[in-house]
Structure 1
Amino acid sequence: MEGIFFYWLMWLAWVVTTFFMKKGKTRIKLAIFIMLNIIISEFYMIIGDFYVRVSLLLFLLLGYYLAVKHKKQRIVSFYMTTLTLMFAYAGILLFRIYDPVWFLFDYRLIVSVAVSLLAIYLGKQTVQKYALYIISVCQGEFLYWFILGKFHKGLTIGTAAFLDMIVIGCLIIYICTISQQFIVFIEQTLQKPAKEKQG
């Protein structure tokens, strides 16, 4: 059932944000964004011949906000990386139409894992990884449906499957970030007794 990952993971993210994050502006902004996204997830806008899900536009705005907030990055490099991931997203979905036999597993998982791992590898800071992933997936969704729009009319940009893919990818980035922090913490904990013995 498409869309189920979106609702489960967004509700889980809202619970974690509301009850477990430290109090502050980031927590309030994130909680409002998550709740607003859940509420408007079934609303659409008509743009040209397409129905565009409002949640997609909200995610795209979040991606741009994170990109602008992270001013240390090189603009040209960030733009080229975003284009690369965007084409990867659209390319995998188009390849699925052309030759679906290769997709033994759920395509939502394949796309999410592939693009999020690229974002983790190409992004330096955590904020940049999220920005890369969110912007490239949203823009890739536009590109994919614009290509299909040449053959069909009345298509929906930002399907329930898209919502699943964007939250699964964000979850993968979050898990990788937490794992890296945990590994660093373990290394620091193990190094302290060694330094004490040497001293």
Structure 2
Amino acid sequence: MEGLIFYWSCWAFWIYLTFILEKQNPFRVKLATIVLIALILSNIQFMVGEFEIQASGLFILCICYLFISQEKRGGIIYFFICSFIITIAYVTFHLFEIFDPIWIVFKKEWMMGIALWYLAILLQKTLKGRLIIIFAGGMQGEILYAYILNKFQFPYLIGEFAYLDVCSLTALLLAGWSTLENAGTILQNHFHFFEKGKQKSS
């Protein structure tokens, strides 16, 4: 069922932001609001000229552009270069799926998610940067792919649940990788805390 990964990951993230994350976190309310709006807009479609767009995908793209606009000029340029690389990879995968589907050896969402995950790790160092280029590049890829299909009179819903599933799956993989990257620091702080406790008790 398309959209299942998106819904499960969004609700899990919203529950974490609302009930688990410390209330003093400055990004808690903003992120929870973004997730809820994306969920609400996920079943709304509208037409722009010849193209049909799902509202949640366009909303996510606008949020990504908002985050990118807060960077310095050099950072903005680099973000757009990275998102463009993701866009080309996204469109290329879809076109290969049409012209030579035999190389899709297992579920395409997982193949695309792993490919985008690897690219994001190579292109950006922070989890925030990786998520931005994945969601922005993926949505830009949707628009470009729809434009190509429109040349052949093939209808295509931009930002459909397949896109949301791929981006959500990639985001989960990136979050897991970020946890592994920071595991050393977390464990070091954890053991350092216990060592301090032992020294005080002695």
Alignment of 1:36-185 (within 5 A): 36-71=37-72, 74-185=75-186
CA distance in 1, matches of 2:40, 2:120: 28
Asked if 1:4 corresponds to 2:16, the answer is no
CA distance in 1, matches of 2:80, 2:101: 30
Q: Residue 134 of structure 1 aligns to which amino acid in structure 2? A: F
Q: Is the contact between residue 68 and residue 76 of structure 2 (CA under 8 Å) also seen in structure 1?
A: no
CA distance in 2, matches of 1:100, 1:154: 19
Q: CA deviation at 1:126?
A: 2.4
Q: CA deviation at 1:190?
A: 7.3
SS of the residue corresponding to residue 149 of structure 1 reads: helix
Match of 2:199 in 1: none
Q: TM-score, normalization: structure 2?
A: 0.87
Identity of aligned residues (%): 29
Cα gap change, 1:103 to 1:153, in 2 (>3 Å): closer
CA distance in 1, matches of 2:109, 2:102: 15
- For structure 1, list consecutive stretches of 5 or more residues without a partner in the other structure: 194-199
Q: Is the contact between residue 44 and residue 54 of structure 1 (CA under 8 Å) also seen in structure 2?
A: yes
Q: Residue 89 of structure 1 aligns to which amino acid in structure 2? A: Y
Q: Residue 187 of structure 2 aligns to which amino acid in structure 1? A: I
SS of the residue corresponding to residue 93 of structure 1 reads: helix
Cα gap change, 1:188 to 1:13, in 2 (>3 Å): closer
CA distance in 2, matches of 1:72, 1:49: 34
Q: CA deviation at 1:154?
A: 4.1
Judge which range, 20-29 or 64-73, deviates more: 64-73
SS of the residue corresponding to residue 74 of structure 1 reads: helix
Q: CA deviation at 1:61?
A: 1.3
Cα gap change, 1:50 to 1:116, in 2 (>3 Å): same
Cα gap change, 1:97 to 1:116, in 2 (>3 Å): same
Q: CA deviation at 1:159?
A: 1.5
CA distance in 1, matches of 2:190, 2:18: 30
Q: Residue 94 of structure 1 aligns to which amino acid in structure 2? A: L
Q: Is the contact between residue 116 and residue 172 of structure 1 (CA under 8 Å) also seen in structure 2?
A: yes
- For structure 2, list consecutive stretches of 5 or more residues without a partner in the other structure: 197-202
Calculate the aligned-residue CA RMSD, in Å: 2.2
Q: CA deviation at 1:116?
A: 2.1
Q: CA deviation at 1:73?
A: 5.0
Match of 1:22 in 2: 22
CA distance in 2, matches of 1:163, 1:77: 24
Q: Residue 12 of structure 1 aligns to which amino acid in structure 2? A: A
CA deviation profile, 1:84-114 (whole Å, cap 9, x unmatched) = 1110011011101111111111111111111
Query: How many residues are matched?
Result: 194
Q: CA deviation at 1:142?
A: 0.7
Match of 2:32 in 1: 31
CA distance in 1, matches of 2:74, 2:132: 11
Q: Is the contact between residue 66 and residue 127 of structure 1 (CA under 8 Å) also seen in structure 2?
A: no
